[in-house]
């Protein structure tokens, strides 16, 4: 066991731990985090993705987190503690990693809540690594080098594309299971991609993107039956995590719909852009503002190229970040950026305008920012876009799954009726 070093009460992830420790990663966004793990492993980290989603996870979360705290925190904490307790992992060689936004929302406190829960559960020496863009905590054994950052960037780009390709193919596949099989093969193949040692690999990325699109394109599909498109928006964890939203994408597909989940990268761009807004409005380092603006610009150049390739192959890749931001005009101020803030409203408008007026707005129970920018905007959106068909669903550890399904089914039957009327 490596020597335990503490700093301000927290356990530091030291150089000595880097090779020996397994870093557990919570299952937030399945399409993306499979690839994030590959990226981390290619840089020498022993990273492992947690995929458990049974009741024990919820039970541990409720036991070790206060019941007033946000559902995503409860589920993430529950998944970590459940993994440590249930599996034969060596707790003396285990570390945990969590993304820390540093924003005004409670998400910034998840790290301290997790540390508190670990002490309560009897694991005070397990280091928790904070993954953040603001240099909030330093861990000498975990360095986000430019190359690792670049690989994470590639992982999110590929993850977004895979999510769109799967969602636009699976509801129409002729042989059940074929899309999932292709998805799995692509993730396996991408392991080799992340072993690159250079920084700027756009040519390689482009070739890889083309190959992936081609593999999905070859899946035999039957698109003769038009299915209603249903958008999924909401708080970042319950929007993407099957554990958080009770496998919402699958539920919608079983109900005869095509799920449309907006790209994860939009959330990161929104977070960086929000920091730019704050520096402009309240003051702050000009160098940081410039660096963030350049980063957003760079990511958009890359995303534009991917969008072009997807569109050429007949897929719908979504619209640029700037266009999403413009949609807020007349609805919500871009200064509203706690939680998912204005991005949530803009995503709903984008979905309504681009063929998916049916929307599930996922909300962790008691999540104030998202009740304002999500549920709180529904009335205004309905007034402006009468064709919109939005249902807000609360996700809570004690919420009734049947109740959630009933409300989704009602929204879907309206969606089907509206579609029939539209196509005559
Ligand atoms: S966005 Fe909502 S669920 Fe997430 S930390 Fe903030 S209050 Fe909690």
Confirm or reject: Cβ of 367 under 6 Å from ligand 1: yes
Confirm or reject: Cβ of 244 under 6 Å from ligand 1: no
Atom of ligand 1 nearest to the CA of 235: 1
Confirm or reject: Cβ of 213 under 6 Å from ligand 1: no
* pLDDT for residue 381: 97
CB atoms within 10 A of CB 357: 24
List, in order of start, the domains of the chain with CATH numbers.
6-144 (3.40.50), 151-423 (no CATH)
Confirm or reject: Cβ of 339 under 6 Å from ligand 1: yes
**Spatial separation of the C-alpha atoms in residues 400 and 334, rounded to whole Å:** 34
Task: Name which of 163, 210, 13 is nearest 98 in CA terms.
Answer: 13
Atom of ligand 1 nearest to the CA of 238: 3
Residue 172: both structure tokens together = 């129409």
Nearest CA to ligand 1 atom 4: 107
Task: Name which of 212, 179, 219 is nearest 193 in CA terms.
Answer: 212
Confirm or reject: Cβ of 105 under 6 Å from ligand 1: yes
Task: Please list, residue by residue across 188-197, b when 16 or more beta carbons sit within 10 angstroms of its beta carbon and e when fewer do.
Answer: eebeebbebe
Q: How many A from CA of 240 to the centre of ligand 1? A: 14
Q: How many A from CA of 363 to the centre of ligand 1? A: 9
Which residue out of 235, 239, 244 has the highest number of ligand 1 atoms within 8 Å of its CB and is therefore the one to mutate? 235
* pLDDT for residue 296: 96
* pLDDT for residue 102: 66
The pTM for the full model equals 0.94
Confirm or reject: Cβ of 368 under 6 Å from ligand 1: yes
**Spatial separation of the C-alpha atoms in residues 353 and 126, rounded to whole Å:** 48
94, β-bridge pairs? 22
Q: How many A from CA of 364 to the centre of ligand 1? A: 7
Residues in the chain predicted with pLDDT less than 70, given as ranges, are 1, 88, 102, 134-135, 199-200
Atom of ligand 1 nearest to the CA of 110: 5
**Spatial separation of the C-alpha atoms in residues 229 and 259, rounded to whole Å:** 6
Q: How many A from CA of 368 to the centre of ligand 1? A: 7
* pLDDT for residue 392: 96
Task: Name which of 283, 21, 4 is nearest 125 in CA terms.
Answer: 4
**Spatial separation of the C-alpha atoms in residues 290 and 273, rounded to whole Å:** 11
Task: Name which of 379, 375, 354, 377 is nearest 365 in CA terms.
Answer: 375
In the DSSP assignment, the letter for residue 53 is -
99, β-bridge pairs? 131
Nearest CA to ligand 1 atom 7: 367
Containing 409, the helix (H) or strand (E) segment is helix 401-423
6, β-bridge pairs? 11
């Amino acid at each position: 066991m490596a020597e335990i070093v503490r700093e301000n009460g927290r356990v530091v992830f030291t150089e000595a731990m880097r090779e020996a420790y397994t870093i557990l990663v919570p299952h937030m966004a399945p399409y993306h985090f499979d690839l994030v793990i590959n990226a981390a492993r290619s840089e020498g980290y022993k990273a492992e993705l947690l995929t458990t989603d049974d009741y024990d996870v919820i039970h541990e979360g409720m036991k070790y987190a206060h019941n007033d705290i946000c559902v995503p925190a409860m589920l993430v904490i529950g998944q970590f503690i459940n993994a440590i307790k249930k599996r034969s992992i060596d707790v003396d060689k285990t570390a945990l990693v969590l993304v820390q936004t540093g924003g005004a929302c409670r998400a910034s406190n998840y790290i301290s809540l997790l540390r508190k829960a670990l002490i309560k559960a009897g694991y005070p020496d397990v280091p928790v690594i904070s993954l953040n863009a603001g240099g909030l905590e330093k861990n000498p054994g975990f360095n986000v080098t430019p190359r690792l950052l670049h690989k994470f960037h590639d992982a999110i780009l590929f993850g977004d594309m895979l999510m769109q390709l799967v969602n636009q193919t699976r509801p129409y596949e002729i042989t059940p299971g074929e899309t999932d099989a292709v998805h799995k093969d692509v993730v396996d193949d991408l392991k080799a991609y992340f072993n690159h040692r250079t920084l700027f690999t756009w040519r390689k990325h482009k070739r890889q993107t083309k190959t992936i699109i081609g593999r999905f394109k070859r899946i035999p599909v039957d698109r003769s039956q038009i299915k209603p498109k249903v958008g999924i928006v909401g708080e970042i964890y319950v929007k993407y995590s099957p554990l958080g939203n009770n496998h919402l994408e699958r539920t919608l597909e079983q109900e005869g719909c095509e799920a449309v989940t907006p790209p994860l990268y939009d959330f990161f761009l929104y977070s960086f852009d929000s920091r730019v807004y704050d520096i402009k409005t309240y003051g702050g380092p000009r160098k940081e503002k410039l660096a963030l603006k350049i980063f957003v610009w760079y990511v958009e150049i890359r995303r534009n190229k991917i969008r072009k390739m997807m569109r050429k192959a007949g897929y719908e890749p979504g619209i640029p970040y700037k266009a999403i931001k413009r949609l807020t005009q007349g609805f919500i101020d871009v200064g509203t950026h706690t939680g998912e803030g204005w991005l949530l409203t803009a995503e709903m408008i984008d979905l309504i305008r681009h063929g998916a007026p049916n929307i599930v707005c996922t909300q962790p129970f008691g999540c104030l920012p998202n009740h304002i920018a999500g549920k709180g905007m529904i009335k205004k959106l309905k007034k402006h876009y009468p064709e919109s068909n939005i249902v807000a669903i609360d996700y809570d550890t004690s919420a009734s799954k049947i109740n959630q399904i009933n409300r989704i089914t009602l929204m879907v039957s309206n969606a089907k009726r509206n579609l029939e009327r539209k196509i005559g």
